[in-house]
């Protein structure tokens, strides 16, 4: 029963982020500047994890044994990746940023297999490439181009994707020994300390009185769902599956975002987009049902 729940958790993460993409521009930069919003996002999640931990878990953390790994998880998975993403998106175009983020699963596979000193099998590699190709076409088609005025932003977004990929690989070492709430409590606590110098000045200049109630609801959605719940679901999934599988589900985000935009009348679902979506699902199928099974069999033979 665990495996279906893992896929359900990762699908929920993709769906939550897909909804967020359609609301991000309603929040930033008109009402909240990016770095200031990051402080609110990470700080609020830290408070929620502290409450959940004190009420439900109360599990101690061995800083002597795992403090160094915790530091790098908080840096790569919470602070650095969010700061670099928002920094990059303020310079590059939304399409460029969306396309570059889709390379995160590729970085996950490379880093994960380098860490374990294993070569990825053919089905896993093919699935990642097919899904990546379909996702790039779905998000950009002919509407994106790299270089010129966007090159600095493109670099920041790429570094963000690498940072998050490192986190997905590293955090498995923590969630295998601690409850996900315990891990997230401390990664977000450290992450808050890391981002305060960057976002506190912007936060101090924010006029909260002009923010309308509907934007407050969208901000609340980001704090509760896009941060607190998604990191919890990701930790749950990574503990029971591979980092490569968790990374692959990122490819579903543009699919769900396109479907949401079509249902809301903001976009049209064309035949070409259906083809690109089928490519993504084909790639995810190869990773989920072929690549990971073959990789487990290969690992068992070599262990």
Alpha helices, H only, 140-212:
151-170, 172-175, 180-204
Q: What percent of the chain has a predicted confidence (pLDDT) above 90?
A: 39
Give 47's pLDDT tier (boundaries 50, 70, 90). very high
The DSSP result for 223-262, as a single string, is IIIIIIIHHHHHHHHHHHS-HHHHHHGGGHHHHHHHHHHH
Count of residues making up the chain: 303
In a domain, 9, yes or no: yes
In a domain, 69, yes or no: yes
Q: Say which residue the tokens 């390379």 belong to.
A: 103
Please say whether the beta carbons of 78 and 191 come within 8 A. yes
In a domain, 270, yes or no: no
For 267, list phi and psi in degrees, rounded to 5. -155, 165
**Within a 10 A sphere around the Cβ of 248, how many other Cβ atoms?**
29
In a domain, 20, yes or no: yes
- 226 or 96, higher pLDDT: 226
In a domain, 136, yes or no: no
**Within a 10 A sphere around the Cβ of 254, how many other Cβ atoms?**
28
The pLDDT tens digits of the residues spanning 226-242 come to 999 999 999 999 988 87
Count the domains in the chain. Answer: 1
Give 300's pLDDT tier (boundaries 50, 70, 90). very low
pLDDT above 80: residue 289: no
Range of the domain at 185: 2-117+144-242
In a domain, 259, yes or no: no
Please say whether the beta carbons of 29 and 150 come within 8 A. no
Of these ranges, 40-54, 131-145, 149-163, 243-257, the one predicted with the greatest mean pLDDT is: 40-54
In a domain, 52, yes or no: yes
Q: Which two tokens stand for residue 272?
A: 């070409």
Can you say whether the dihedral through the CA atoms of 123, 126, 132, 136 is positive or negative?
A: negative
- Residue 38's alpha-carbon distances to 32, 41, 137, 159, in angstroms, are 9, 5, 30, 17
Please say whether the beta carbons of 194 and 79 come within 8 A. yes
In a domain, 156, yes or no: yes
- The Cα–Cα gap between 119 and 143 comes to 35
């Amino acid at each position: 029963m665990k495996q279906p729940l893992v896929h359900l958790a990762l699908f929920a993460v993709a769906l939550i982020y897909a909804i967020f993409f359609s609301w991000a521009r309603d929040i930033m930069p008109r009402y909240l500047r990016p770095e200031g919003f990051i402080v609110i996002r990470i700080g609020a999640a830290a408070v929620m994890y502290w409450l959940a931990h004190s009420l439900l878990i109360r599990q101690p953390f061995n800083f002597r044994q795992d403090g160094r790994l915790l530091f790098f998880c908080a840096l790569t998975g919470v602070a650095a990746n969010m700061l670099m993403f928002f920094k990059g998106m303020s310079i590059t175009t939304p399409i460029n940023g969306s396309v570059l983020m889709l390379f995160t699963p590729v970085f996950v596979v490379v880093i994960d297999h380098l860490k374990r000193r294993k070569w990825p099998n053919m089905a896993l590699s093919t699935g990642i490439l097919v899904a990546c190709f379909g996702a790039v076409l779905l998000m950009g088609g002919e509407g994106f181009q790299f270089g010129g005025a966007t090159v600095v932003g493109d670099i920041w977004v790429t570094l963000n994707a690498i940072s998050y990929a490192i986190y997905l690989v590293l955090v498995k070492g923590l969630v295998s020994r601690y409850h996900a709430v315990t891990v997230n409590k401390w990664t977000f606590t450290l992450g808050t300390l890391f981002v305060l110098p960057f976002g506190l000045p912007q936060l101090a200049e924010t006029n909260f009185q002009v923010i309308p109630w509907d934007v407050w609801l969208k901000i609340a959605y980001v704090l509760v769902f896009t941060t607190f719940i998604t990191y919890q679901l990701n930790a749950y999934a990574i503990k029971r599956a591979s980092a490569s599988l968790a990374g692959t589900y990122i490819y579903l985000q543009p699919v769900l975002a396109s479907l949401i935009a079509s249902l809301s009348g903001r976009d049209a679902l064309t035949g070409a987009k259906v083809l690109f979506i089928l490519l993504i699902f084909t790639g995810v199928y190869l990773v989920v049902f072929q690549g990971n099974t073959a990789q487990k069999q290969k690992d068992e033979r070599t262990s």
